[in-house]
Chains A and B, each alone.
Chain A
Amino acid sequence: MADDTKISIRNLYKIFGDNPQTALKQVHGGMGKDELLDKTGHVLGLNDISLDIPANKLQVIMGLSGSGKSTLIRHLNRLIEPTAGEIWIDGDDVMAMGPNQLRDLRRFKMSMVFQNFALLPHRKVLENVIYGLGIQGVDESEATKRAAHWLDRVGLAGYEDYYPGQLSGGMQQRVGLARALATDADILLMDEAFSALDPLIRTDMQSILLELQQELNKTIVFITHDLDEAMRIGDTIAILRDGCLVQSGDGQDIVLRPADDYIAEFTREINRSKVIRIRALQRPIAGDAPVGEPLPSSTVLADALEKLVAAPAQALPVADKSGKVVGQVHLNDAVKALHA
């Protein structure tokens, strides 16, 4: 386990059915998902998932419906019990926790945002945001102060006394986000949090999340079925398919080096110019460096192309974070990367 790993998932299996342990033996014996369903009526929800989720980063877990992504995120706070496997958070064995430790984990260490908001309809907006704090035992005046602060941060100041039913979907999810942030947990679980929102609002919410994350540096586990969303917000992305983890890496890795045809198919529609960074295309400088202002290596293709076209040699030097020139990038390579 690396030092900066916050959550570590080891060989996690989840089988739904009457007799999961027997089915698990069959899966260990090499039986696949379809065969297991046909022969035993058990559903293989998660198949041997191992994943290290880095601290203070936004980890996206992506997959289509039925891939097991929502099942996986519910294992992290044990809303669902695994059939086999281990989950470690900050070096603590989550599977070994008793009911009280588990409750404390949920109260103080992680909070959650849900696809369908799951607000308490009988409580006003402010009271919803206070909910987690009330359970933590924070006294009322302090809780009100903190809740009001977070409502303000998500742009809902002035809506304290509304009922959730009076708000639009986007606003309700902001309440959900404020409720999750208010508990001050270092881990934020987001289960398709923006999937129920229409596209403009969704982009809006992504921006709010990224903005908050820049300052809060929480460990966020974000579930989505939308590759664009994954590419936009994810520091690292794990892709699930039929309960198996098929690839894990940053957005660029996945676009440039898809692990299999399934993922290649998946990534075909993506706007590559906004995902690929020139770092991936740079070549060592042979002879003289090209003339022109160096591009930071983290520049995405979309931004680099224009400058490359304008550059005299249709090539520019590439500089690392410290500004040191580390290589060069050619227009040809950039254009090829767009269509690969």
Chain B
Amino acid sequence: MDFLLEFPSLGRSDLSALRRGIDGTFREFTRAWGESIENFFDPLLAFLVWFEKLLQATPWPIIILILAGLAWAGSRSWKITLGSVVAFVVIGFLGMWEDTMSTLAIISVATFLCILVGIPLGILMARFDRAQAIITPILDVMQTIPSFVYLIPVVMLLGIGKVPGLLAVCIYALPPLVRLTNLGIRLVDKSVMEAAEAFGASNKEKLFGVQIPLALPNIFAGINQTIMMALSMVVIASMIGVQGLGVPVLRAISNQYLALGLMNGLAIVALAIIFDRVSQTYGKRLQSYREAGHG
């Protein structure tokens, strides 16, 4: 009866030996490769630091002007542009300018990195069913595994700092872009693809002339999601040494500072709403041709 009442598990000593074995192996791997991996990410770190410094050193009116310009270029809407300007003025007025610039820097670099990796990956998945079969479960894991779990090996490997924070953000924020790029390309009308084929288009001509342009609204939805998810990682990233709006939030949690937490939290929300509205209206404008019905 013992067998039915107690789940047959590895013994305590075997289990701890197994864990020690895995930990030991990874530690050895870290010792052997940690430095070269760190060196590999050095240019990224330099870029991130440079961009953050640039944002912080630029006089605030210029930043607001640039942001307003970007918001206008993206959305072509006075409401959204004005709302963005007001939000940034309030953020600055409440003393969160510097942290906001740090957050902006890491979000921008993370998004840029995700686009660089995510879109080609999505294209690959759309082209080869095999790639889709392999990559999809990896994306599932990236999206669902608690961030703290993958922070452990990342920190072991790279220590505390901006790069591990950036990687953590990217691991979480990358999947929607890959998925939506894949989906967008697969959803391209088969008959249009057939027409391109019938006119003798090469693979490259099909990809850049038909598939990507027609998948663009979906790709943009993916970028939008990536930005949103990157922003939601700001607090967790601050736990491993990323500067920005997450740091005061973290301090507020441990000291029960309600106002501090709320203000910085709302600043993150404001950034999120601005990015979301601007990128969504831009995505909508990209498919204006779809709305033009004939009378």
Contacts and interface: CB of A to CB of B under 8 A. Distances in A.
Given A118-B191, A119-B192, A103 B294 contact: no
Interface string A156-183: 0000000101111000000000000001
SS of A interface (majority): mixed
A175 to B, nearest CB: 12
Interface string B196-211: 1111111001000110
A183 B199 contact: yes
B200 A107 contact: yes
Interface in A118-151: 118-122, 131-132, 134-136
A136 B200 CA distance: 8
A165 B294 CA distance: 7
A116 interface: yes
Interface stretch (B102-110, B155-163, B285-293): B285-293
Given A118-B195, A136-B200, 18 more contacts: A103-B200, A105-B200, A107-B200, A108-B200, A111-B199, A114-B191, A116-B191, A118-B192, A119-B192, A120-B209, A121-B289, A134-B209, A135-B201, A135-B205, A163-B289, A165-B291, A165-B294, A167-B294
Contacts of B293: 165-166
Bin chain A's interface residue count.
20 to 34
A237 interface: no
Contact of B294 (A112, A136, A166): A166
B290 A114 contact: no
B25 to A, nearest CB: 44
Nearest to B216: A122
B214 A122 contact: yes
Contact of B199 (A122, A131, A167): A131
A89 to B, nearest CB: 14
A306 to B, nearest CB: 43
Contacts of B202: 103
Nearest to B286: A122
Given A114-B191, A116-B191, A135-B205, A121 B198 contact: no
A114 B194 contact: yes
B46 to A, nearest CB: 39
A104 interface: yes
Central interface residue in B200, B202, B209, by most chain A CB within 10 Å: B200
B189 interface: yes
A116 B189 CA distance: 11
Contacts of A114: 191, 194-195
8 contacts: A106-B199, A107-B200, A120-B210, A131-B199, A132-B199, A165-B293, A166-B294, A183-B199
B200 A121 contact: no
